[in-house]
Amino acid sequence: MKMLLIAEYRQGQLLDSYTELQAFAEMMGAQSAMFLTASGTGELPKFPGKLYLAEVAEFGEYNPEVHKQLLLEVVAKEQPEMIVFCHSSYGWDLAPRLAVSLKAAQISEVVAVEDGALVAPACNGKLRRTLKSKGKITIVTLQAGAFSLAEPAADTPTVIPITGDSQGKVRLLSYEKAEQGGVDLAKAEVIVSAGRGVGKPENIALVAGLAKALGGEYGASRPVVDALWVEHNRQVGTTGLTVSPKLYVACGISGAVQHLAGMKKSDFVVAINTDKDAPIGDVADVFAVADLKQLLPVLTEKLQAL
Ligand SMILES: Cc1cc2nc3c(=O)[nH]c(=O)nc-3n(C[C@H](O)[C@H](O)[C@H](O)COP(=O)(O)OP(=O)(O)OC[C@H]3O[C@@H](n4cnc5c(N)ncnc54)[C@H](O)[C@@H]3O)c2cc1C
């Protein structure tokens, strides 16, 4: 299978999410080329194949309208069967535009590959669908953190500069940082997070208590935030924050891919869960199979006594 991988560049930096695209291509046994809008004098992906490079100064950093035109030219040359984006704001914007222009099938938010078929969540992540495209060309977006390279390549790509006079009606003027009130979890060295397993809002105090005893902050998974038990600026995951504390304690969190994407770079992970088979165990350094309502008060008391 021939694939075209769409790497990303933001605020003057190459995003390392391109390695997730490579990992997916490897898993699918595909022969791939890559597309990137960036500065040719800056860092380029470590990629062993062809890199179609559009100069950012000419074509803009975030300009889906213009980038779609450039991509159509690359697609005409490469004739890929699959075009793969990250499930990011850039991918959300650009992938469907391209799918419409190419009359291609689109499969969004892929989290796994099973027997050559693509697995994507449904019903707000409560179900998983296994999908096979019947289209001649398929556009795919990959959930952040779902694929990772076992061994990042050290290769340099064969750069093919893209030229042209693609013009769009929209121009990116600037980026604006989302307003962030109160706590800044990204700076915390210790984070204790509450998942749906806390059961009721009153139990958030157990998680906050342990966080305080450890000199850290408390966070939460998305269902806990959606239930308004914890404010959104404490949500960890793809639609919340990406954190990398020295210690992350996941209390009553199953370990969905969208949560893992936000915390798996933590130095040390402790998971407390009643289900010994919960997927959070795959990233945990210590896994306590226990009821958080029983364990947290004891743990907090012991720490306070130190
Ligand atoms: C587009 C999209 C974006 C998303 N973004 C995010 C995101 O940013 N962050 C995020 O977290 N999720 C996100 N999700 C949701 C994600 O798919 C999961 O649904 C969510 O992470 C599950 O949260 P949870 O682990 O708290 O709950 P559950 O999956 O319900 O897990 C609860 C866990 O608690 C355990 N448990 C139950 N009782 C106890 C107890 N007494 N003691 C100890 N353990 C107990 C259970 O065994 C279970 O493992 C997103 C989903 C979609 C579709």
Domain ranges of the chain: 2-162, 185-305
Distance 90 CA to ligand 1 centre (A): 26
Please state the pTM of the whole predicted model: 0.74
CA distance 13 to 274: 42
- Domain 2-162: give its CATH code: 3.40.50.620
Distance 265 CA to ligand 1 centre (A): 18
CA distance 48 to 36: 14
Burial letters 119-137, b for 16+ CB under 10 A, else e: bbbeeebeeeeeeebeeeb
Domain spanning 185-305: CATH 3.20.20.80: no
Check if 234 has its Cβ closer than 6 Å to any atom of ligand 1. no
Ligand 1 pocket: which of 185, 232, 239 to mutate (most atoms within 8 A of CB):
239
Atom of ligand 1 nearest to the CA of 220: 11
Order of all β-strands in the sheet with 138-142: 105-110, 138-142, 82-86, 2-6, 31-38, 50-55, 158-162
Q: Nearest 5°: CA angle at 228, between 227 and 234? A: 110
2-162 shares its CATH topology with 185-305: yes
Local confidence pLDDT in tens for the 306 residues of the chain: 999 999 999 999 999 899 999 999 999 999 999 999 999 899 999 999 999 999 999 998 888 899 999 999 999 999 999 999 999 999 999 999 999 999 999 999 998 999 989 999 888 667 889 999 999 999 999 988 788 877 767 889 999 999 877 777 888 888 887 666 678 888 899 999 999 999 999 999 999 999 999 999 999 999 999 999 999 999 999 888 889 899 999 999 999 988 998 998 899 999 999 999 999 999 999 999 999 999 999 999 999 998
- Distance of alpha carbon 100 from its chain centroid, rounded? 24
